[in-house]
């Protein structure tokens, strides 16, 4: 029986190879490079006001001490320049789901945002969101500021930032302040004004799962989108989408991107992500509802609701991020726990879809025992992305990056 199965498998392989020839989709991976020789974690990728790729991370500087750093690449992510420290960030609390972020305004102003611990009688796991601004290309940095001056706010976490069409920066974050007694956090929104930092904060939605990353995205039509994990009917924790079509003055009522109906009395610490191509908006997220795993959905320009979800990878996959290539192909990355000998280790997976959501390839881009987690992704050019992640080996964490090129 085994010989028969082997024979048919060989026939299928030969048949497939003959018909696909050299057109089989594949990728090329560069060597992994460490961004820092010190203990480090929490990578984040963005681009500066000159369209250079920027990688930020948290460097541990001693026992329970760390600082936010970033470096700029002048060769499309092949190498990075010297690390630039942000002195005011010495209270940063490293967390892969609540990673620090850097945003570059067209004016040249640079804003670094990070989370810090804020243990208190109200919430032993509470945090605060701080930011610091540089007006001289990172040479000097202003003293840190809290994201809000409201003293009733004692828990701020899981933020995201984005540039607005007018060149200002926007931020969303989860906050203990809300108008309901139901469990969860409020979702807040604020914007910068000239050189004055973030201002005019306001509550834009509630109730939100307290410990999942939010996603703030501005589309090509200048509409502002926010994704977050909502708490629905006191027990369901599904991903919700809200939108502003008037420059953030008002936001729509939340709508689920997928009716997963995940009932969980806790937080999975894994949030959603959104990107865009000519077809419309595209999202990835993790759910434990029905069949657990990382999923994908889209909202095309001709549709009024998100498409039926498509599984990217199974229950052991989490922390997904998505980006689009210039021609519209969609690249999703995630981390996944896999059995290795008598234990488990995490690795990084990658999926490519065509602009109209057809699956092209899916594979791991690190060894199955690589100890890699919390990947982030940035488009490099028409057929290449940069992926950075935290890699754990021999009780040491380092931030690693590598390029992925697509041949199709």
HEC letters along 364-408:
ECCCCCCCEEEEEEEEEECCEEEEEEEEEECCEEEEEEEEEEECC
- The mean pLDDT value of the chain amounts to 93
What is the C-alpha to C-alpha distance for residues 113 and 131, in angstroms, rounded to an integer? Answer: 4
DSSP 304: S
Taking residues 64-71, what's their average pLDDT? 96
For residue 118, is pLDDT > 50?
A: yes
Q: Partners of 61 in the beta sheet?
A: none
For residue 3, is pLDDT > 90?
A: no
For residue 121, give both structure tokens: 């009688």
In angstroms, what CA-CA distances link 220 with 46, 164, 225? 17, 11, 11
What per-residue confidence (pLDDT) applies to 205?
98
What is the C-alpha to C-alpha distance for residues 400 and 408, in angstroms, rounded to an integer? Answer: 26
pLDDT higher at 62 or 279: 279
Q: Partners of 35 in the beta sheet?
A: none
Taking residues 277-304, what's their average pLDDT? 96
For residue 154, is pLDDT > 70?
A: yes
What per-residue confidence (pLDDT) applies to 389?
98
What per-residue confidence (pLDDT) applies to 267?
83
- Helix, strand or coil, per DSSP, at residue 6: helix
What per-residue confidence (pLDDT) applies to 262?
97
Neighbours of 364 (CB within 10 A): 15
What per-residue confidence (pLDDT) applies to 394?
87
Give how far the C-alpha of residue 186 lies from the chain's centroid of Cα atoms, to the nearest Å.
Answer: 20
Q: Assess contact for 44 and 114: CB atoms under 8 A.
A: no
Burial class (CB in 10 A: 0-12, 13-18, 19+), 21: exposed
In this predicted model, what pLDDT tens digit does every residue of 102-112 receive, in sequence order? Answer: 999 999 999 99
In this predicted model, what pLDDT tens digit does every residue of 225-246 receive, in sequence order? Answer: 999 999 999 899 999 999 999 9
- Where are the domains positioned within the chain? 278-408
Taking residues 295-303, what's their average pLDDT? 95
Taking residues 190-205, what's their average pLDDT? 97
């Amino acid at each position: 029986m085994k010989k028969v199965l082997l024979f048919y498998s060989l026939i299928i392989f030969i048949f497939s190879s003959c018909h696909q020839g050299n057109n089989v989709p594949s990728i090329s991976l560069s060597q992994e490079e460490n961004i820092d020789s010190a203990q480090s974690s929490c990578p984040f990728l963005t681009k500066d006001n000159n369209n250079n790729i920027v990688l930020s991370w948290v460097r541990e500087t001693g026992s329970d001490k760390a600082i936010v750093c970033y470096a700029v690449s002048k060769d499309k992510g092949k190498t990075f320049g010297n690390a630039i420290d942000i002195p005011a960030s010495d209270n940063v609390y490293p967390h892969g789901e609540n990673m620090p972020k850097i945003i570059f305004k067209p004016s040249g102003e640079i804003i670094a945002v990070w989370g810090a611990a804020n243990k208190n009688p109200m919430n032993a796991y509470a945090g605060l969101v701080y930011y610091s601004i540089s007006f001289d290309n990172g040479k000097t940095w202003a003293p840190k500021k809290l994201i809000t001056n409201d003293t009733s706010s004692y828990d701020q976490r899981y933020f995201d930032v984005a540039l607005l069409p007018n060149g200002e920066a926007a931020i969303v974050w989860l906050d203990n302040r809300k108008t309901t007694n139901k469990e969860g956090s409020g979702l807040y929104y604020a914007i910068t004004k000239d050189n004055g930092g973030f201002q005019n904060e306001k509550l834009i939605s509630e109730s939100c799962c307290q410990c999942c990353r939010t996603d703030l995205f501005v589309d090509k039509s200048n509409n502002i989108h926010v994704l977050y994990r909502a708490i629905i009917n006191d027990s369901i924790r599904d991903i919700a989408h809200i939108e502003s079509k008037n420059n953030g003055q008002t936001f729509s009522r939340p709508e689920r991107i997928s009716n997963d109906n995940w009932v969980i009395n806790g937080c999975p610490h894994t949030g959603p992500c959104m990107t865009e191509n000519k077809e419309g908006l595209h999202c990835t997220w993790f759910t434990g509802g029905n069949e657990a795993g990382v999923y994908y959905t889209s909202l095309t320009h001709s549709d009024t609701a998100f498409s039926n979800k498509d599984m990217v990878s199974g229950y052991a996959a989490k922390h997904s991020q998505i980006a689009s290539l210039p021609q519209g192909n969609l690249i999703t990355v995630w981390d996944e726990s896999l059995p290795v000998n008598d234990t488990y280790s995490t690795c990084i997976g990658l999926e490519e879809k065509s602009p109209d959501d057809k699956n092209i390839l899916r594979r791991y881009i690190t060894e199955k025992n690589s100890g890699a987690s919390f990947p982030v992704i940035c488009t490099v050019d028409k057929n290449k992305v940069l992926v950075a992640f935290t890699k754990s080996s021999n009780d040491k964490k380092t931030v690693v990056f590598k390029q992925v090129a697509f041949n199709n």
